[in-house]
């Protein structure tokens, strides 16, 4: 694959020496997770196994494989160290300490791994600007061991989610769409996983994605339309199944919709304007912002759903299709 070059009129390239540096900004997902360290994951976390004791692909192997492929395909770019979040700790102890009281356990007698892990790798030397917001090219993935059949007596397919898109540096919201997302990667070994990552990064159409994001700035809804849209979003989950079949789903629940409404009025970067209107780029960021409260295993699915939902609203305003959420 040739080195990726974004359209000159859409990209701001930072001329720095290639390096790996820490990402110290606010994280891309916050609630229900804690910060993870690659070194800690590699050297201190155990690796879960199938019932036949065959090891699964570790979180560390997933992250390092993605980092290696990114460094190869984006050679010469500035690539940040992975920003890692983990959740759902699985704790245990070595057999020798099975009868020890908790307060007497030595560190070496404790075992730990995290059931769910998400990470991103930002490439800040490849950027674009949408509505004054700087977007950095970003790669990442999700691994949730609860999606694998760990009690199987044979090594079954292991499931991964991988993506490439952009991170809004104003708020660290992720911009992910269907063509940059593989939501059900099933592999038996690390070689197959690397092939899937490589294929996604090569096939990603960054020009089309950026064009789609830029178009959102051109469309706005009124406060009245926003109220109607929020009401319909809350209605969706309670509709009869026969009605739902003809409506594109919304994966955001009532609590997240409450945050969207709150930020519609109060968010410093993406609230309504003085006339009560909001453009679709800002509305999109209200959804991707509240998505930070999602659990790791549903985070990327909701990221993609946010874009699909706002695109549906845009097409309705454009007149090319009808959206139940606005009509």
What are the tens digits of pLDDT across the range 123-150? 999 999 999 999 999 999 999 999 998 8
Tokens linked to 275: 């006339």
Q: Is the model's pLDDT at 9 over the cut of 50?
A: no
Q: What pLDDT, on the 0 to 100 scale, is given for residue 7?
A: 39
Q: What is the residue extent of each domain of the chain?
A: 8-205, 219-318
pLDDT of amino acid 25: 59
In 3D space, the residue among 57, 325, 289, 321 whose CA is nearest the CA of residue 168 turns out to be 289
Residue 23: what pLDDT?
45
* Bigger pLDDT: 280 vs 23: 280
Looking only at the bridges linking them, the beta strands covering 174-175 and 158-168 are antiparallel
pLDDT of residue 143: 98
Per-chain mean pLDDT for the chain: 91
Q: Report how far apart the first and last C-alpha atoms of the chain are (Å, whole number).
A: 45
Give the Cα separation of 167 and 136 in Å (integer). 5
Q: What's the Cα-to-Cα distance from 105 to each of 18, 46, 79, 142, rounded to whole Å?
A: 44, 17, 40, 32
Phi, psi of 11 (to 5 degrees): -125, 145
H or E element that contains 228: helix 223-236
> Looking at residue 6, what is its pLDDT?
43
pLDDT at 311 over 80: yes
Q: How many CA atoms lie within 13 A of 167 on its CB side?
A: 26
Q: What is the pLDDT of residues 64-100, one digit of tens each?
A: 999 999 999 999 999 999 999 999 999 999 999 989 9
* 258 phi and psi angles, rounded to 5 deg: -60, -40
pLDDT at 151: 82
Kindly list the distances between the CA atom of residue 276 and the CA atoms of 227, 231, 232, 281, in Å, as whole numbers in the listed order. Answer: 11, 17, 19, 15
Residue that has been written with the tokens 């606005």 in this structure: 326
């Amino acid at each position: 694959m040739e080195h990726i070059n974004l359209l000159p009129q859409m990209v701001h390239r930072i001329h720095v020496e290639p390096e790996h540096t820490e990402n110290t900004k606010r994280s891309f997902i916050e609630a229900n997770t804690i910060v993870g360290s690659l070194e800690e994951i590699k050297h201190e976390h155990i690796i879960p196994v199938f019932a036949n004791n065959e090891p699964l692909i570790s979180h560390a192997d997933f992250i390092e494989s993605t980092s290696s492929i990114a460094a190869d395909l984006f050679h010469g770019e500035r690539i940040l160290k992975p920003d890692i979040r983990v959740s759902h700790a699985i704790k245990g102890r070595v057999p020798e300490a099975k009868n020890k009281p908790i307060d007497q356990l030595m560190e070496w007698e404790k075992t730990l791994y995290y059931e769910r892990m998400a990470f991103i790798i930002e490439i800040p030397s490849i950027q674009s600007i949408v509505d004054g917001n700087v977007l950095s090219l970003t790669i990442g993935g999700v691994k949730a061991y609860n999606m694998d059949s760990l009690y199987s007596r044979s090594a079954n397919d292991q499931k991964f989610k991988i993506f490439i898109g952009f991170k809004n540096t104003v708020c660290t919201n992720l911009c992910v769409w269907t063509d940059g997302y593989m939501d059900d990667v099933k592999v038996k070994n690390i070689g197959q996983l690397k092939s899937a990552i490589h294929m996604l990064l090569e096939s990603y159409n960054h020009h089309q994605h950026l064009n789609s994001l830029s178009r959102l700035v051109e469309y706005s809804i009124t406060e009245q339309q926003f109220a109607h849209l929020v009401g319909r979003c809350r209605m969706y989950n309670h509709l009869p199944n026969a009605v739902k079949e003809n409506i594109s789903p919304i994966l955001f629940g009532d609590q997240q919709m409450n945050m969207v409404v709150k930020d519609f009025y109060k968010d410093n970067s993406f609230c309504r304007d003085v006339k009560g209107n909001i453009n679709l780029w800002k509305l999109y960021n209200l959804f991707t912002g509240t998505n930070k409260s999602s659990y790791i295993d549903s985070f990327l699915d909701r990221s993609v759903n946010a874009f699909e939902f706002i695109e549906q609203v845009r097409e309705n305003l454009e007149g090319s299709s009808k959206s139940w959420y606005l009509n």
